[in-house]
Structure 1
Amino acid sequence: MPGSAPTGALAPHLEAAVQDLYGDGITARRGAFTPQWADLMREDVEAAFAEARGREGGAVGRGPHRYYVEIHPQQLRGFVELVDHPWVVGVCEAVLGPDYRIVELGFDIPFAGAVNQPWHRDFPMPDATRGERRLTSLAFNLTAVDTREDMGPFEIAPGTQWDDDPRFGHGMFPPRDTYPCYEGLAERKYPQRGDISARSALTIHRGTANRSADARPVLVLGVDAPGAGNDAHHDMAVTAAFRDSLPERVRAHLHCPVVDELTPIVQKHTIEGLVMGEA
């Protein structure tokens, strides 16, 4: 049974986004940023990946030739523009409430040779979703490149954020005998530089095989409703000087530690079932 989208007076484009999230489990805003903004984001992602790959625990595998890296907000020059974008703010407030929390900033990179991931969700279904049919977190994605078919596009099965099968491995991985169902629902997404999407991380999805010679970096911004608890899986921090430089409306949603000096993040948001890719 689908969940009930929050009701209230919303601008039409935000009302449509909320209905999308409670219906298909994903929505998007085309051209939210300029391609040039996305190009600067890619520079920051590539610099962070080069640093992370040079140390133990800097990047985690999400399948062959596919990696995830979590970063601190200060490593992204466009952080304020991203989290303060009116569409991002509006969607967060409408779905998660006015006291939403920014809990994750990172990126996925499938390189040439990345294979199909198993169908999965990013974490087990929370009790609030199961019992109250309420979404308690959102994942925003921004591509750093113009996505082509041969790059291994993101694939999602609309409406499956409500699937609740006790046979899910670790509460996240549908049994393989259900794959034909997800393949029948599957939609591939082809975002271009400057586009942004928001999805429930519970919606069943996978990265597909990258048959090109090009990497396909994607930024991930994770946002929680109060009490959702996903911040326990992440380690982002800010310095006092950086925090003080932020507008108050941004600071209000950052509850991460404030430190004298940033230390590189040792990744702990590992999803073991993705390491080998689809069998």
Structure 2
Amino acid sequence: MAGDDHFDLESNIADLRNDGITGLKGAFSRDWADDMREDMMTAFWEAIQRPGGAVGRGPRRWYVEIHPQNFRGFVDLVTHPWLVGMCTAVLGQDYQIVEIGLDVPFQGAKYQPWHRDFPSPVDTYRDRKITSLAFNLTGVDVTEDMGPFEIAPGTQYDDGRKWKHEMFPDKSEWARFQERATRKYPNRGDISCRSALTVHRGTEHGSPIARPVMVLGVDAPGAGHAELHDMMVTREWYDTLPPIARDHLVCRVVDDLQPIIQKHDIEGLVMGADPT
């Protein structure tokens, strides 16, 4: 797992509150990230073969939720001191891990429309309080032709209630996001932390190399996103978790794992978008 345990948490929190995104370079080793990529692609090829196993996020782009114990680095991730520190400082001592999955664009993926991942709660658009976090980890070293993630810093506090589904700003507003747009080029082992309300999009993917990204969703109590997911773990695996992981995990404890049927389908991302 070896990576960088040296970080300036206060600076990261300030960046998150100002820009809606921050990150830690070299949080994990490249070998650790390579194992993660293997687990992601195994999960993807299994899920894509069954109904409801993978949902479209645009042409040649899919999202797959996975069982935590099928990602061998899950405990390393949720106990990493930087991730724990960010969750505790922003979401409170009782933060809830509600989602683990992966986003995979392949060659031919198109620009997504500018969007956020769910409607903004009043706590955020009125009171400027962040109530959920998304942590992303890339499975490859991202290059320009791999459809890098593009984000409009500072837009996490936009109201958005007049947007389509309260998630998709009208195309007449896109110029404002494009003026702020920043593309991200993480390497294997890096972690990013963002508000899923910060307006963002995937870009056109021309490389023959797929770009799988691990996604961990964490809520403050009451944010409600656990209802969109259905994490489950076996009792045997659950009992091996350290308390810092077990106490924050929102999941069903079952005798046998069942295939995951996706609950969170974002209809507005099914079609690609004109980048202008």
TM-score range, shorter chain: over 0.9
Q: Aligned partners of 1:65 and 1:183: how far apart in 2?
A: 23
Q: In the alignment, is residue 68 of structure 1 matched against residue 63 of structure 2?
A: yes
In the alignment, does 2:8 pair up with 1:13? yes
2:107 aligns to what SS in structure 1?
coil
Q: Which residue of 1 aligns with 2:180?
A: 185
What letter corresponds to residue 114 of structure 1 in structure 2? A
Alignment deviations for residues 127-185 of structure 1 (CA, whole Å, 9 cap, x no partner): 22133221000000000000000000000000000111433110000110011111110
Gaps of 5+ in 2: 1-5
Residues 152, 207 of structure 1: 8 Å contact kept: yes
SS of 2:76's partner is helix
Check conservation: 2:25, 2:189, Cα contact below 8 A. Answer: yes
Checking the alignment, whether the CA contact within 8 Å between 2:139 and 2:213 is kept in structure 1 is yes
**2:218 is aligned with 1:223:** yes
User: What is the CA distance between 1:214 and its match in structure 2?
Assistant: 1.1
Q: Which of 248, 255, 269 does residue 264 from structure 2 map onto?
A: 269
Give the whole-Å Cα distance in 2 for the aligned partners of 1:93 and 1:29: 16
In the alignment, is the contact (CA less than 8 A) between 1:116 and 1:278 conserved in 2? yes
Q: What is the alpha-carbon distance in structure 1 between the residues aligned to residue 264 and residue 146 of structure 2? A: 24
**Identity across matched positions, percent:** 62
From 96, 99, 102, the counterpart of 1:101: 96
Q: Which residue of 2 aligns with 1:248?
A: 243
Q: Distance in 1 between matches of 2:246 and 2:103?
A: 26
The Cα RMSD (Å) is 1.1
Residues in 2 aligned to 1:238 and 1:91: alpha-carbon distance in whole angstroms = 25
Equivalent pair of 2:226/2:250 in contact (CA under 8 Å): no
1:39 aligns with 2:26: no
Contact 1:109 1:215 in 2 (8 A): yes
Matched AA of 1:71 = I
Q: Report SS of the residue matched to 2:72.
A: coil
Deviation for aligned residue 1:12: 7.4
**Which of 247, 252, 259 is the aligned partner of 1:257?**
252
Which secondary structure state, in structure 2, belongs to the residue aligned with residue 150 of structure 1? Answer: coil
2:3 aligned residue:
none
The one of 130, 136, 151 aligned to 1:135? 130
- TM norm structure 1: 0.95
Give, in angstroms, the shift of residue 13 of structure 1: 1.0
Superposed displacement of residue 54, structure 1: 1.1
Q: Secondary structure at the match of 1:47?
A: helix
Contact 1:25 1:158 in 2 (8 A): yes
State which of 157, 162, 165 in structure 1 corresponds to 2:157. 162
C-alpha separation in 2, matches of 1:262 and 1:199: 30
What's the TM-score once normalised by structure 2's chain length?
A: 0.96
Give per-residue Cα distances to partners, 1:39-85, cap 9 Å, x unaligned: 00011001101110111111000000000000110110000000000
Distance 1:165 1:192 in 2: 32
Contact 1:138 1:200 in 2 (8 A): yes
Contact 1:167–1:175 (Cα < 8 Å) also in 2: no
Could you tell me how far apart the structure 2 residues matched to 1:185 and 1:129 are? 20
Shift of 1:233: 0.4
1: CA distance, partners of 2:271 / 2:55: 12
In the aligned structure 2, how far is the partner of 1:173 from the partner of 1:163?
A: 12
Q: Where does residue 108 of structure 2 map in the other structure?
A: 113
Distance in 2, Cα, partners of 1:144 & 1:171: 31
4+ aligned runs moved over 2 Å, structure 1: none
Contact 2:7-2:24 at 8 Å conserved across structures: no
Q: Describe the SS at the equivalent of 2:36.
A: helix
